[in-house]
Chains A and B, each alone.
Chain A
Amino acid sequence: MVKRKKRYIIIEASTEIPVEVFKKLIEKSYLELFGEFGLNEANLKLVKKINNKFILECSHNSVSRAILSISSIRKLDDSLFCLRVVKVTGTIRKAREIIAEG
């Protein structure tokens, strides 16, 4: 079996939000833009949450799609809200290091 390449996207939220809300937001946005097939292909998984920063795992072919769907989010319950892509890494260890560095 061919191993699927993954990428880890470090995302910073403008306010601290629960994991469930984050997951819903990302999935809804991705679904709206790229549909069920796209979402399935991207294989989005939330790996870790540290304060208002999240590490999102996705397949390496879908990085630009994931970044676009993250940047399309601008509202949370009718209040202004945004998610910022801090960095994309190839390993989870590097992603953790970047978050630890601040």
Chain B
Amino acid sequence: MGRKYVDFWINLTDEVDLYEMVSEVKKLGFRSVVVSSVDENRLREFRKLSEDFKIEVYRKLILEPEDRLSLLKNLRAYRGGYEVISVICSNLEVALTAARDSRVDSIILPPSKRFRIDKGVAALISNSVELPFKWFIDENSRRGFIRVASEVVNYLSRKTSIIVSSSASKPFELRSPHELASLLQVLGLDRSTALDAVSTIPEKIIEANLVKLSSSYIARGVLKIG
């Protein structure tokens, strides 16, 4: 059986034709998508449309906190309501906290970050690192994004898992799994590892979180049976 491809971030904040978006996702070969949306009605509509196309939809929360305390406060408040939580790390303090907090699913390092990924950060990271492809498509952020992506691949690929998501807010910004994986291949990873970044790695995160969100979950490794 072939790989099950997952787009780990689709942003539904812009006013786009949802039908066009879903049909494009299907055409590109994704079987699951993780969607962030401010508007609950649009998300519901997107989910309904996706059912017809047999695409699984999961909710994602993107946090961009200023400091450690606001990150922890948000995680405490929202962890139970979303299948996936990602943190955009605008400073080192947030990056270090998000990197080792098990409630965070992926950390996103922006192209304009003003801190280095050094041994200290690398030693602490236990969560996945997400690379949103939209920053690569955008000419203004491309150079910074490539710098961050190559840092991530060089210093963190052996330590942690990497995910590539489209982070598209328009159908034009969506890319196929092989196009997303080509970024990691160009940066030096082999084809199979690069494809894992758009299939097995995000899938495992979602599966683990669905178990945690289910009513039978009690604690790590403890499930209520029957």
- Seen from chain A, the residues whose Cβ lies within 8 Å of a Cβ on chain B are 14, 64-65, 67-68, 70-72, 74, 80-82, 84-85, 88
- B159 in the interface (beta carbon within 8 A): no
Could you tell me if B185 and A64 are in contact, using CB atoms closer than 8 angstroms? yes
Knowing A67-B182, A68-B183 are in contact, say whether A80-B172 is a contact too (CB < 8 A).
yes
Report the bound CA distance from A91 to B176 in whole Å: 22
Partner of B178, one of A65, A72, A85: A85
The binding surface of chain B is classed by DSSP as helix
Chain B residues bordering chain A, tally (CB within 8 A)? 17
- B60 in the interface (beta carbon within 8 A): no
User: Chain B residues near A70 (CB, 8 Å)?
Assistant: 179
- Interface flags for B115-143 (1: CB within 8 Å of A; 0: not) read 00000000000000000010011000010
User: In the complex, how many angstroms separate the beta carbon of A72 from the nearest chain B beta carbon?
Assistant: 6
A-B contact pairs, 23 of them (CB 8 A): A14-B172, A64-B185, A64-B186, A65-B186, A67-B178, A67-B179, A67-B182, A68-B179, A68-B182, A68-B183, A68-B185, A68-B186, A71-B133, A71-B179, A71-B182, A74-B172, A74-B173, A80-B170, A81-B172, A82-B172, A84-B179, A85-B176, A85-B179
Report the bound CA distance from A38 to B170 in whole Å: 31
User: Chain A residues near B175 (CB, 8 Å)?
Assistant: 71
User: Chain A residues near B182 (CB, 8 Å)?
Assistant: 64-65, 67-68, 71
Partner of A72, one of B137, B176, B191: B137
User: In the complex, how many angstroms separate the beta carbon of A41 from the nearest chain B beta carbon?
Assistant: 13
User: In the complex, how many angstroms separate the beta carbon of B166 from the nearest chain A beta carbon?
Assistant: 10
- Interface flags for B157-198 (1: CB within 8 Å of A; 0: not) read 000000000000010110110110011011000010000000
User: Chain B residues near A85 (CB, 8 Å)?
Assistant: 176, 178-179
User: In the complex, how many angstroms separate the beta carbon of A35 from the nearest chain B beta carbon?
Assistant: 13
User: In the complex, how many angstroms separate the beta carbon of A26 from the nearest chain B beta carbon?
Assistant: 14
User: Chain A residues near B179 (CB, 8 Å)?
Assistant: 67-68, 70-71, 84-85
User: In the complex, how many angstroms separate the beta carbon of A100 from the nearest chain B beta carbon?
Assistant: 19
Report the bound CA distance from A65 to B182 in whole Å: 7
Report the bound CA distance from A14 to B24 in whole Å: 12
